[in-house]
Structure 1
């Protein structure tokens, strides 16, 4: 029986040299996998945030309305932006009570989160446009009404951006209409919203 050469055996037992071509290939592959995992995680987070946002609108809209006017949409969006006002009032009330006992701000993190979120959403509504379901198109409205709340069905929904000034004017034609949700993942405001959503989890 032929014995393997000692040098060959030692070579096979050696690890991969950190500066070798093989090591660089493995490092590149691992780096790519990590980036893909990060992107998938960010995409899932934005999907979850958008799903929760649209669920609020579906639960709080008037299901009996067959046609939404710009005024109806404006009031619904404003209610969404103001959704945490009661909680904020309770926090501020607790602050006033505790001021006599301590200088610490109870629930400070939650209070800051609510205020920052509200300010950003209001800025979107006033300037770049607040994104939610397309209530002004009867066909798109019916699709939204029939949505079961499943995240996998979100790409079937048509979204629209609304600017407060245009809604006040009754202007519906010039409102910006983004493409379907899955084609709008790179929107900066959605990224910021998702980050706030993650911080609040």
Structure 2
């Protein structure tokens, strides 16, 4: 079946924020006196910090402190000098142009909050490409829970069989597969992620475009 919609994760798929923030996040946690040496890199990819605090702090964690911890981390993140324009993968525009020309419905389903998604749209100049944007902050549980993808598909008016999801993290892949959609993963070479459950591994967004182009019987060099 030809896909009618493509739904993207944001961090690590549209923008190279996962690697950018990895060391900064570790520095922040070290300053809090939290030893992260026992946590693999993959632990921090694709999830929300608000869900990690109980595991990072262990017996030091108290639920009533969750909002304060998250607010402090958010303030740290926002104080970091970066632009989504600089972190946007260079082939994102080309793929998004192609999808619009070919009349795909386009959504984003990210664990990031709405403020960060909107900032990515504004600074990256990509907001007009997307028909729907869903944030993990709207759900009690986010990835690997499939709810965020099920809701995004509902808002786009498509079935799982008509949907292609582009992911990178293990949790995101699991969420997409649990939602019964087809999941392609951008191959990870940094975090050591388990991407074995993806339907297909691709090297880049350019390869996504090339495969979709071939499946429609059109030349791969069309822009």
> Normalising to structure 1: TM-score of the pair?
0.27
Greater helix percent: which structure?
1
The structure that has the greater radius of gyration is 1
Greater strand percent: which structure?
2
> Normalising to structure 2: TM-score of the pair?
0.25
